[in-house]
Amino acid sequence: MALNERLNKFKQQPKVAPGFRPANAPFAPVKPLQPVKFSDDTERLQHINSIRKSTVGAQIKLVIILLEKTRQAFTAEQINEATYVDIRGNKAVFDSLKNNPKVKFEGEHFFYKALKESGDVWWLSGTNSQEDTAHFHDRRFRITIDNDLKQLYREIELPRDMLDIEKELKKSGEKPLTDTVNRRALAQIHGAASKSKARKKQRGITTKTRITNYHLPELFKNLDT
């Protein structure tokens, strides 16, 4: 009997429609919004976009650095994977890279072309200069120079003072592009003018000095008047 009474009470309870929340039911906890973070892929895409929007010269520089460091042959697809420079998709970059003197293009591959090793330039170093200079090697002119002439050229000692160099040029009928006498005279004039304008720094305490320590009269016994 007790079981039947409980079943009847259960059947008499009002039914709750699906999706209806009773007044005393607790709210589901609100999950805090997660901060939006750029994924690694998003950052990579932004980096690719910044490279491909850069100037042609900047993109060529990236490719040349890659070719120079690796000294390997790269296809356009391999360059794109390594530097994100889309050579196939940018005709200006492709043409500029193909015609660059530091790059050699054969078939589908790009190589780094060392100008010194290829013989396209002469690499000369002077005795007094700390920097070497590169000169284009024009292969149309093949001149054989006698060793005695080379030795004679090396033994010639050039004047070290610009005045002497200008005199030698005038003797040879050449007009010097420099005027050392005039340049040195102007330098002396400007140097003397700058020295005359320099003011001598005042030392010690004078009557023009602003005095604030009046409560210490012993400091001003030797004040200049």
CB half-sphere exposure, 135, CA atoms < 13 A = 8
Query: What are residue 124's DSSP bridge partners?
Result: 133
Predicted confidence at residue 88, as pLDDT, reads 87
Mean pLDDT of the chain: 74
Assess whether pLDDT exceeds 80 at residue 160.
yes
User: Tens digits of per-residue pLDDT, 103-114?
Assistant: 888 888 888 887
Residue among 129, 74, 132 at smallest CA distance from 103: 74
Domain boundaries of the chain, sorted by first residue? 42-113, 144-180
Rounded (10°) CA dihedral 157, 159, 165, 170: -60
How far apart (Å, rounded) are the C-alpha atoms in residues 75 and 14?
A: 76
Q: What is the pLDDT of residue 3?
A: 54
Q: State percent of the chain over pLDDT 90.
A: 4
Higher pLDDT, 124 or 90: 90
Alpha helices in the chain (DSSP H): 2-12, 40-52, 56-70, 76-83, 91-98, 115-118, 147-155, 162-171, 180-197
pLDDT in tens, 62-88: 999 998 888 888 888 999 888 999 988
For domain 42-113, the CATH class is mainly alpha
> Looking at residue 156, what is its pLDDT?
82
pLDDT score, position 131: 66
pLDDT tops 80 at residue 55: yes
Work out the pLDDT band at 31, boundaries 50, 70, 90.
very low
Q: Which residues contact 135 (CB under 8 A, 6 or more apart)?
A: 121, 122, 124
Radius of gyration of the chain (CA): 43
pLDDT score recorded for residue 118: 67
CA distance linking residue 91 with residue 89, whole number of Å? 6
